[in-house]
């Protein structure tokens, strides 16, 4: 208990000691915990879990091979919500793809500027093993490009999460257990981007990026035109802290990043000494500092371990390992909810459901018809013969997701959709 209380205190201390003017994640976190104080112990528990995983090297969901020092690749489905009020803000799909390419290069240390990593830091520079792929299947099971273009009447969004909700001119998040949500739009003030709190609400989960700091083409504007703002914010989404720990000589909970007094800006040269970190100086080439895009080029082994801890059993991102959003076979068209050319119908409630559903059929559906339930990849997971017009079905053993119920009896064919929570 004393350890948990101490961690809670440290979390709060880091939140209040430093405010940003480029990345606003720390500011966002401060606001979040002020309005949700009940979430602070949960954040401390997450930190305790993370440190325990790192200490015991329990990386079971992603093995790190000792010979190559490379982890197994974790694929993360991505949905990009583009909110635009002008044609310029409606960035192209090519610009979106350029950002996905940067994420894959940076998180697998395939970025061309690894040659700029100082020799003193090369031994800790890491391939983090993450692959980012635009989703191929949407939450309803249908084909998607993984990119949503939506016009809005909101001129600019702040860090109050309005961009994440249709009710406030934004776009609603997709299931965080299946997707990384990235919102791109016009942001107010000096905000380049921000990330949600790892332990925060599902509806708010993801990262938000200014449309002129996203990708490497189109509207991307120097010095933030190499996609590193998104690399940085996704790092926060994966539980990384700024290299200075959001405080003067603060703690980012990573052992192989030198302590530093505050954020580095622009493009420093040579060795920058602070917090008695000689002879290495600040690691201002780290993606979690504040330097210009062209001066960032590495994550460390310690940062990799911190990110991978989220994907271990019990970790906050563990569910993403089971997402089928980039490999499932999408449905080609909407499923009809009534019989073709008829009035026969099927209703299911509660829907969504956790363990049991009640199925009610119209009277013209004959007893002895067959009812099947299919998952999103077309596999039959339940099959039974209809004996009465209303009956219960146990779905407790089915995994979370979208399913399709089909009743076929002679000339009568009806289908509907079910969501299992």
| Catalytic machinery residues | 233
C-beta of residue 279 within 8 angstroms of C-beta of residue 267: no
For the chain, the 3-state helix, strand and coil shares in percent, each to the nearest 5, are 25, 25, 50
- Residue at token pair 């992603």: 62
C-beta of residue 376 within 8 angstroms of C-beta of residue 322: no
DSSP 136: S
- Residue at token pair 């090369």: 122
C-beta of residue 279 within 8 angstroms of C-beta of residue 119: no
DSSP 3-state of 58: coil
C-beta of residue 257 within 8 angstroms of C-beta of residue 251: no
How far is CA 322 from each of CA 139, 160, 291, 317, rounded to the nearest angstrom?
A: 14, 30, 35, 10
Query: From CA 277, how far away is CA 269, in angstroms rounded?
Result: 16
Number of neighbouring beta carbons within 10 Å of residue 108: 18
> Quick one: CA torsion of 39, 41, 46, 48, rounded to 10 degrees?
170
Sheet containing 401-409: which strands, arranged edge to edge? 380-385, 370-374, 401-409, 412-420
In this structure, what token pair is assigned to residue 292? Answer: 């210009």
DSSP 56: H
- Residue at token pair 């970190």: 277
C-beta of residue 239 within 8 angstroms of C-beta of residue 213: no
List Cβ<8 Å contacts ≥24 apart for 255-261: 255/302, 256/124, 256/300, 256/301, 256/302, 257/283, 257/286, 257/288, 257/300, 257/302, 257/303, 258/282, 258/283, 260/284
Query: From CA 364, how far away is CA 128, in angstroms rounded?
Result: 58
Number of neighbouring beta carbons within 10 Å of residue 292: 17
**DSSP state letters, 103-116:** HHHHHTT--GGGGG
């Amino acid at each position: 208990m004393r350890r948990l209380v101490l961690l809670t205190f440290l979390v709060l201390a880091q939140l209040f000691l430093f405010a940003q003017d480029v990345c606003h994640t720390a500011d966002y976190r401060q606001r979040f915990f002020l309005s949700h104080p009940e979430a602070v112990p949960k954040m401390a528990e997450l930190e305790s879990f993370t440190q325990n995983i790192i200490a015991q090297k329990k990386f079971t969901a992603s093995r790190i091979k000792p010979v190559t020092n490379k982890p197994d690749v974790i694929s993360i489905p991505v949905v990009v919500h583009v909110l635009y009020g002008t044609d310029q803000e409606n960035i192209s799909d090519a610009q979106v793809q350029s950002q996905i390419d940067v994420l894959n290069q940076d998180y697998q240390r395939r970025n061309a500027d690894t040659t700029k990593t100082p020799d003193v830091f090369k031994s800790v520079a890491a391939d983090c093993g993450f692959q980012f792929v635009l989703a191929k299947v949407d939450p309803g099971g249908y084909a998607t490009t993984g990119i949503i273009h939506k016009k809005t009447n909101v001129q600019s969004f702040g860090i109050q999460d309005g961009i994440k909700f249709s009710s406030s001119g934004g776009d609603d998040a997709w299931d965080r257990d299946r997707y990384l949500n990235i919102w791109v739009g016009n942001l107010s003030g000096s905000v380049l981007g921000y990330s949600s709190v790892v332990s925060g609400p599902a509806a708010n989960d993801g990262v938000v990026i200014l449309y002129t700091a996203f990708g490497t083409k189109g509207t991307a504007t120097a010095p933030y035109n190499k996609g590193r703002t998104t690399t940085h914010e996704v790092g926060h989404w994966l539980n990384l802290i700024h290299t200075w720990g959001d405080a003067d000589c603060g703690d980012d909970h990573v052992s192989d990043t030198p302590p530093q007094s505050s954020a580095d800006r622009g493009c420093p040269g040579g060795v920058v000494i602070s917090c008695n970190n000689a002879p290495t100086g600040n690691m201002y080439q780290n993606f979690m500092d504040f330097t210009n895009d062209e001066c960032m080029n590495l994550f460390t082994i310690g940062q990799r371990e911190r990110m991978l801890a989220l994907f271990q059993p019990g970790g906050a991102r563990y569910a993403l390992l089971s997402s089928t959003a980039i490999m499932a076979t999408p449905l080609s068209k909407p499923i009809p909810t009534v019989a073709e050319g008829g009035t026969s119908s099927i209703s299911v409630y509660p829907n969504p459901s956790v363990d049991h559903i009640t199925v009610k059929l119209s009277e013209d559906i004959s007893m002895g018809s067959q009812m099947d339930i299919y998952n999103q990849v077309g596999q039959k997971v339940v099959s039974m013969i209809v004996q009465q017009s209303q009956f219960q079905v146990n779905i407790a053993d089915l995994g979370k997701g979208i399913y399709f119920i089909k009743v076929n009896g002679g000339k009568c064919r009806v289908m509907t959709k079910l969501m299992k929570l």
